[in-house]
Structure 1
Amino acid sequence: MLSALPNDILLLIGEESEQKADRWNLVLVSHHFHDLFLPLVYRKVLIHHWHDANSFLHAILKRPALARAVREFDITNWVQRNISDVDSNLIANSAQLTELLHTASHSKLESDQWSQDLRRGLADAWAALITPLLSRLSKLQLAHGARSPYLDRTMHRALNSERPFCGEPAFQQLREVSLHHREDLDQSDDSETTADGQPSPSLLLPFFQLPSVRSITANSVVDPSSMITPSEQSAEDEELRLGFSSITDIDLRSSSGNHGMKAFVSSCAGLKSFKYQHSDSHVLSHGYQPSAFYRSLSHSKSSLEILWLDHYGRHHPFTAAGLNQSHDEWFGPLVDFTALREFRVRLPNLLDIRYQNEPTTPLIDCLPSSLETIYIEGCEERYLGMLVAQLQTVIKSRRTRFPCLKHINIEGAFTNFPSDGDDDGVITSFGPGVPEVAIKDKVYQAAEPLHIDCVQAGLELHLHDRALSHI
């Protein structure tokens, strides 16, 4: 009965079966179902180690139609495995791999080194060999070490239409890119690294030049401008191209943007979402400098809809530049970001309160009228009363100045860590001797006037503490 349905209907049924096992069962029903549903099985490909990569590569070399079926390619969970001498010889003597390496390489030396690194099981070597074959890829998720010479080389050849990209332009349908740096993969890469062992931004930059890409996520990114000398800085500023990229969403995690990541941010013609999480763990970090992001994002004031700055970032007392005080720097007024719907910013960066109890510029004069969600992080308990008063003023002007506002969130160090006899707040227990961590009663009391105003205005108010998010 099922086989009598038109192929289009059958494919719709197959697409509703999200589990790969269910799709494999369909493939095994008949020869007709095998040919019909096998490309659906290859729609999303997850590679976990060299054996997966080798099997998949031989499958798409044998049936190129399967390569055209792939929409998502994911190696973020790559596990480094030793390759036996027998398997190494099989890889080295594979006629298909030898021919593919000959096509992809520009010299015999390159081909031989590539073959050697395939036999070492390097994720970089396998991914760079496979991805050029996936002509209809829309989502790419890569795990990589501090240096990825094969992926670097492949991307630059794709942009320059060099072999193996001599035909149609490469990656025409690629829209989402995720680059996940993993330190465990650094250990398998004995080539040069950047000064602090972090990934080179050369892997990230080419994706900004692909016209189809809209979203990019990466971690452990060091600002490219941090890697050039001061004498080169002015020349780099002059040569900085503005608005050439089609990327609308950038998410940089555990990164260091000494210069506001301007090489990435300023390149976007219509940036809609920018999320940045700072980390001082990079040797080249000079501390979190919000004003640098204000300058780099100035080209996106009319398009930016979502801004997360330093969500749960890591700040050390000292950085390469010395005493780390820049993390308390004021970002600047957001009022000119006329499309902004949601922001997530630390209190010292949202309001200029350093060395004083009241902001130099009131919150109401810092916010654009387009806001729907306010999320303020890093509020110290001593500033909570001031922040409540500032937000009350915003709510009172909601109808005339902030008609879209729906959600207010405040995060800070608000939890109880009670000692014996401490009755500050309600203390319950998960078990014998394990006190429950909870937001202090006096924090709720301080926020109660704001809660009342939010209820009356039809807004949602939430208090958060990151200690609770890990329980």
Structure 2
Amino acid sequence: MDRLPDEILLLIVDNIVLFKDKYQFLLVCRRWRSVLFKAVYDYVWIDGFQIRPLLLAIQENPAIGSSIKDFRLEWWSGGAGDKQNHDITSVLPLVNRISQSEEETKEWKEALIEGNEDAWLGLLLSSSMENMTELSVGYTWDLKFFHRVISRAAIREKPFDTMPILQRLDNIYMISDDHKEFWPQFEFLPFFHLPSLRSVRLENVVESVGDRIDHPAYKPAKGTSPVTELDLGAYPNGSKGMADFITSCANLEKFKYQHSNSVIFAEQFMNFRPRAFYFALCTQKHSLQVLYLNDRGETKESGLDEDVGNGNPPPIDWFGSMADFTKLWDLRIPVATLLNFHLSDDRPRVSSLKEILPPSLKYLAMTHFESSQTDQVMSNLLEVVAYRKEKFPHLEEVEIQTYWSNLHASSSAKEAFTPLIQAGEDAGVDILVFPSYYRQRRG
């Protein structure tokens, strides 16, 4: 084993997921430690009880911190758990450096001594992890110290104006392991101020709850954020179209959103509002390439929408024209959201799908299809296919899909689209009617 080539050792470690298993390789011999040190610490995945030991290890050997590029934290808590009595002597200089007042220093010291994992995480992120590019966190409540560090580092507030904390962060993923949880949208706005961030993936994010924090980092970045990919695919509720996120971006390329009617589980509900997303996404006409707008989320009205109950109906249930989205090539959207032209407030009113699709379109998926929409879908898509050469030269594939709970569409419903399938073949467009959810798209 001690004669294995370096390349083989690195390949083995690269295929081991858990940090605790990879770490054992460093204990074999000096040669293995020298060869594998950076590879082992390149991706660190820990649980809450390991936050403090990792920070202390980095203090002893800063090379550990500078080697970490991908950091993942799960199974931890933000609030106070079982009180400990930790010796914090070694971390006091860091606490004193990043605190902005005596009161704050005292608060941090007390939390660290008691073993508050949020406080220890705040220090860990403030340590020598300056090369970290990916951050995945199992999100939770009561994250006072986590938010403190993130918000100050995001806008280079002292002392982070001289500390390269989070400045190379490229990808964040805030995970939730319970669909009943909900996280206020504004808590994630500081990330959009980071200079290198490109990809943001958030779960259980909701608008219209919570009181905003009075700090510059919690304001939208107003078209200056470098974020190009925004994925809100698990139980979000964007009653305002997630406009603060979207309009913060300078050149958003990919946006994915799957709606949940639930804002606060079993207490507060808001139905899907496509028009709110339209107004926000219009600020990204010049750059948006991929749009998956509630193609698998909830579209049915819950009947418990608070705005409706208060006599204040939501915006019209039509998304809008995408003819000016000059780079959009991949679109997945519910049939009604796309084809409810009669709800258009444009003059003259839109009357055909071919008027609102961009010429750059390559893939179109119309989801949440219901049999009552057959004639409308058929007539509009026949027209789109007929105009492929003149208006949609890049179009390769059109998918018609039912809602996920209606997996077994009747054969007669499929047969109704036979003329469309034939027209697609003649025009060089694949027409897929109720294909498998698990299929791999060509190309």
The answer, yes or no, to whether TM exceeds 0.5 is yes
1:247 aligns with 2:246: no
User: 2:222 aligns to what SS in structure 1?
Assistant: coil
Distance in 1, matches of 2:250 and 2:404, equals 40
Match of 1:321 in 2: 307
Question: Within 5 Å, which residues of 2 pair with 1:386-465?
Answer: 386-413=376-403, 438-464=408-434
The Cα of 1:462 is off from its aligned counterpart by 3.2
> Which amino acid letter does the alignment assign opposite residue 37 of structure 2?
L
- Mark the CA change 1:402 to 1:149 in structure 2 (over 3 Å): closer, same or farther: same
> Which amino acid letter does the alignment assign opposite residue 317 of structure 2?
E
Match of 1:151 in 2: 146
User: 1:370 aligns to what SS in structure 2?
Assistant: coil
Match of 2:325 in 1: 337
Match of 2:48 in 1: 49
Match of 1:351 in 2: 339
Match of 2:259 in 1: 278
The Cα of 1:215 is off from its aligned counterpart by 0.9
Question: Within 5 Å, which residues of 2 pair with 1:70-149?
Answer: 70-78=68-76, 88-89=84-85, 92-107=86-101, 109-117=103-111, 123-133=117-127, 134-149=129-144
> Which amino acid letter does the alignment assign opposite residue 153 of structure 1?
R
1:31-68 per-residue CA deviation (whole Å, 9 max, x = no partner) reads 12212312211111112232x22222222221110100
> Which amino acid letter does the alignment assign opposite residue 363 of structure 1?
L
Distance in 2, matches of 1:104 and 1:240, equals 25
Match of 2:216 in 1: none
Distance in 2, matches of 1:40 and 1:79, equals 28
User: 1:408 aligns to what SS in structure 2?
Assistant: strand
- Mark the CA change 1:148 to 1:24 in structure 2 (over 3 Å): closer, same or farther: closer
Deviation larger for 404-413 or 41-50 = 404-413
> Which amino acid letter does the alignment assign opposite residue 65 of structure 1?
A
Match of 1:299 in 2: 283
Q: Which runs of 5+ in 1 are unaligned?
A: 187-197, 229-238, 417-436
Distance in 1, matches of 2:404 and 2:173, equals 34
Deviation larger for 132-141 or 306-315 = 306-315
Distance in 2, matches of 1:308 and 1:242, equals 23
> Which amino acid letter does the alignment assign opposite residue 155 of structure 1?
I
User: 1:75 aligns to what SS in structure 2?
Assistant: strand
User: 1:152 aligns to what SS in structure 2?
Assistant: helix
8 Å contact from structure 2 (residues 79, 143) kept in 1: no
Match of 1:236 in 2: none
Match of 1:58 in 2: 56
8 Å contact from structure 1 (residues 75, 141) kept in 2: yes
8 Å contact from structure 1 (residues 251, 274) kept in 2: yes
Distance in 2, matches of 1:262 and 1:399, equals 35
Deviation larger for 268-277 or 177-186 = 177-186
The Cα of 1:162 is off from its aligned counterpart by 4.2
Distance in 1, matches of 2:167 and 2:437, equals 44
Match of 1:259 in 2: 240
User: 1:303 aligns to what SS in structure 2?
Assistant: coil
Match of 1:194 in 2: none
User: 1:151 aligns to what SS in structure 2?
Assistant: helix
User: 2:206 aligns to what SS in structure 1?
Assistant: coil
1:165 aligns with 2:160: yes
> Which amino acid letter does the alignment assign opposite residue 34 of structure 1?
R
Match of 1:380 in 2: 370
The Cα of 1:312 is off from its aligned counterpart by 2.6
- Mark the CA change 1:106 to 1:464 in structure 2 (over 3 Å): closer, same or farther: farther
The Cα of 1:129 is off from its aligned counterpart by 2.2
The Cα of 1:320 is off from its aligned counterpart by 1.3
Deviation larger for 335-344 or 377-386 = 377-386
Distance in 2, matches of 1:381 and 1:442, equals 10
Distance in 2, matches of 1:408 and 1:122, equals 52
Distance in 2, matches of 1:82 and 1:148, equals 11
Q: Among 353, 358, 365, which residue is 1:368 paired with?
A: 358
Q: Which runs of 5+ in 2 are unaligned?
A: 213-218
The Cα of 1:93 is off from its aligned counterpart by 1.8
Distance in 2, matches of 1:396 and 1:120, equals 70
> Which amino acid letter does the alignment assign opposite residue 269 of structure 1?
A
Of all paired residues, the percent bearing the same amino acid is 26
> Which amino acid letter does the alignment assign opposite residue 209 of structure 1?
H
- Mark the CA change 1:176 to 1:387 in structure 2 (over 3 Å): closer, same or farther: same
- Mark the CA change 1:337 to 1:122 in structure 2 (over 3 Å): closer, same or farther: farther
The aligned length equals: 420
8 Å contact from structure 1 (residues 331, 350) kept in 2: yes
User: 2:205 aligns to what SS in structure 1?
Assistant: coil
Match of 2:183 in 1: 199
Distance in 2, matches of 1:258 and 1:80, equals 27
> Which amino acid letter does the alignment assign opposite residue 36 of structure 1?
V
- Mark the CA change 1:78 to 1:410 in structure 2 (over 3 Å): closer, same or farther: farther
1:132-167 per-residue CA deviation (whole Å, 9 max, x = no partner) reads 221100001112224421121112221343455252
User: 1:321 aligns to what SS in structure 2?
Assistant: helix
8 Å contact from structure 1 (residues 14, 37) kept in 2: no
Deviation larger for 206-215 or 384-393 = 384-393
User: 1:410 aligns to what SS in structure 2?
Assistant: strand
Match of 1:192 in 2: none
The Cα of 1:445 is off from its aligned counterpart by 1.2
